[in-house]
């Protein structure tokens, strides 16, 4: 099968689990002998910050003529059986979907986050879950400056969603939506996507390491240090855990503030910065517990799949997809999001029962082997492609002119 993958990569200065998931999927398809081509742009292209540059970016976010023309050329050259879109924000734009409709090529869209329903993509406001844009209207996001604290930037995203909903882009030009969890499926239905267009397919981890034994003598956090990730709650919890070492791998806007708190209060916390994949997997394998303390709705964090592969139990916030992915006593434990005391108690309970922790190490790897391997994921994705191509009848002829 000929597959054209479409992805707007995030800035290289802010590594994204979504970018990693897309790369994993591409390599999986190629390894299985599929004919894969790629249309991509990267937000590193966004450079100038003047008024005219910002205005041009806003227009292109809603409708990029350049991306539409270039995409059509790729479509004509490669003539794929299916187009699989991951992300179009901010440079590709939804303008490409109509080209697929005109040329009769079916589209599969993976929803890695909630941007189709919420300009911030996180359903998060003031550190707490917020679904006002679904329950009320997108105007709420502009009112609260939900995207990067900017009314104008948020208005651009709200306009993009409003215009393409009105044009029928999301309802008519996309044949199948892939979501990563049942929780995400429920939110997509609430956001207006028909249930029959939604398929649940999780992330996976290629070339998984051997399960570790947790002999590192530390508890671990891996991820970006940003609002919504719960890292403030995490660090506050260590006020109650002076005899437990916490290692933090990752970077982000909150790092300096968090390091300041650690120094001031002499907390048993080490900041290790960014690490490469091998170093991260090694650290997870040796960790006693991995903590995912998010305050926001996550998609399917790659670090959870990595932790399961390494046999490391996950202590996660009882929120969104994390509440679905983590099974108490089997693959880890959950705590109340934003509650540093509850987090500290949960860490203590896990560490004080090494036998139960050892049993969980076995069951987390068993869960991975049963649900998150590359072979299983390929079978699911191949079935999705087969179904959508089989249901696409009377394909329009490919045309070279732009509209």
For residue range 228-261, what is the model confidence (pLDDT) as tens digits?
Answer: 999 999 999 999 999 999 999 999 999 999 999 9
Between 263 and 128, the higher pLDDT residue:
263
Q: At what angle do helices 302-310 and 277-286 cross, to 10 degrees?
A: 50
Mean pLDDT computed over 293-301:
94
* Domain 219-371 indexed as CATH 3.40.50.920: no
Confidence grade of residue 211 (pLDDT, cut at 50, 70, 90): very high
CA 365 to chain centre: 22
Confidence grade of residue 103 (pLDDT, cut at 50, 70, 90): very high
Q: Flag the least confident range among 53-57, 137-141, 215-219, 391-395.
A: 391-395
Q: What pLDDT was estimated at residue 127? A: 84
- Percentage with pLDDT > 90 across the chain: 90
Q: What pLDDT was estimated at residue 137? A: 96
Q: What pLDDT was estimated at residue 47? A: 77
* Residue 394 scores a pLDDT above 50: no
Give the residue among 72, 119, 78 at the shortest CA–CA distance from 96: 72
Confidence grade of residue 53 (pLDDT, cut at 50, 70, 90): confident
> What is the model's pTM?
0.92
* Collapsed DSSP state (helix, strand, coil) of residue 263: helix
The answer to whether the bond into 228 is cis (omega within 30° of 0) is no
Confidence grade of residue 40 (pLDDT, cut at 50, 70, 90): very high
* Residue 267 scores a pLDDT above 70: yes
Q: Flag the least confident range among 106-120, 145-159, 301-315, 382-396.
A: 382-396
The label of the residue with tokens 């292209």 reads 45
* Residue 328 scores a pLDDT above 90: yes
* Residue 95 scores a pLDDT above 80: yes
Confidence grade of residue 48 (pLDDT, cut at 50, 70, 90): low
Mean pLDDT computed over 7-29:
91
Determine what percent of the chain falls in helix, strand and coil, rounding each to the nearest 5: 45, 15, 35
Confidence grade of residue 52 (pLDDT, cut at 50, 70, 90): low
* Residue 222 scores a pLDDT above 90: yes
User: Which backbone phi and psi does 13 adopt, to 5 degrees?
Assistant: -75, -10
Q: What pLDDT was estimated at residue 16? A: 81
Confidence grade of residue 399 (pLDDT, cut at 50, 70, 90): very low
Q: What is the third-level CATH fold of 2-204+374-391?
A: Rossmann fold (3.40.50)
Q: Where are the beta strands (DSSP E) in 284-390?
A: 289-292, 314-317, 332-335
pLDDT 10s digits, 315-325: 999 999 999 99
The label of the residue with tokens 């509850």 reads 342
d(CA 144, CA 95): 27
User: Which backbone phi and psi does 372 adopt, to 5 degrees?
Assistant: -125, 25
How high does pLDDT run on average in the chain? Answer: 94
* Residue 395 scores a pLDDT above 60: no
Mean pLDDT computed over 203-228:
95
Neighbours of 207 (CB within 10 A): 10
Q: What pLDDT was estimated at residue 236? A: 98
Start-end ranges of CATH 3.40.50.2000 in the chain? Answer: 2-204+374-391, 219-371
d(CA 292, CA 143): 30
* Residue 87 scores a pLDDT above 70: yes
């Amino acid at each position: 099968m000929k597959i054209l993958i479409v992805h707007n990569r995030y800035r290289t200065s802010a590594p994204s689990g979504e970018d990693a998931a897309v790369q994993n999927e591409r390599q999986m398809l190629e390894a299985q002998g599929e004919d894969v081509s790629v249309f991509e742009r990267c937000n590193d292209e966004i450079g100038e910050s003047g008024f005219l540059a910002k205005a041009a970016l806003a227009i292109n976010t809603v409708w990029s003529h350049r991306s539409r023309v270039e995409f059509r050329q790729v479509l004509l050259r490669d003539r794929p059986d299916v187009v699989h879109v991951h992300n179009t924000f901010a440079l590709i734009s939804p303008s490409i979907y109509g080209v697929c409709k005109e040329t009769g090529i079916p589209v599969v869209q993976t929803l890695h986050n909630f941007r189709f329903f919420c300009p911030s993509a996180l359903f998060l406001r003031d550190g707490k879950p917020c679904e006002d844009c679904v329950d009320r209207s997108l105007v709420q996001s502009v009112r609260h400056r939900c995207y990067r604290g900017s009314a104008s930037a948020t208005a651009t995203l709200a306009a993009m969603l409003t215009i393409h909903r009105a044009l029928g882009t999301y309802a008519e030009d996309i044949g199948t939506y892939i979501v990563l969890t049942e929780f995400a499926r429920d939110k997509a239905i609430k956001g207006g996507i028909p249930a029959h267009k939604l398929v649940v397919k999780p992330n996976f981890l290629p070339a998984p390491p051997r399960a570790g034994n947790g002999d590192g003598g530390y508890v671990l956090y891996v991820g970006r240090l940003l609002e919504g990730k719960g890292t403030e709650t995490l660090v506050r919890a260590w006020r109650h855990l002076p005899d437990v070492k916490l290692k933090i791998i990752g970077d982000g806007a909150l790092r300096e503030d968090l390091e300041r708190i650690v120094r001031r209060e002499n907390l048993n916390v080490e900041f290790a910065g960014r690490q490469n994949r091998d170093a991260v997997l090694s650290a997870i394998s040796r960790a006693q517990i991995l903590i995912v303390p998010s305050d926001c709705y996550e998609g399917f964090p790659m670090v959870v799949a990595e932790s399961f592969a390494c046999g490391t139990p996950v202590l996660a916030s009882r929120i969104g997809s994390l509440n679905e992915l983590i099974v108490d006593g089997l693959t880890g434990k959950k705590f109340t999001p934003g509650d540093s005391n509850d987090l500290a108690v949960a860490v203590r309970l896990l560490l004080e029962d090494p036998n139960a922790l050892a049993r969980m190490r076995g069951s987390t790897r068993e869960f991975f082997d049963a649900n998150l391997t590359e072979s299983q994921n390929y079978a699911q994705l191949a079935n999705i492609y087969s179904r959508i191509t089989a249901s696409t009848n009377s394909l329009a002829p490919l045309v070279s002119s732009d509209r």
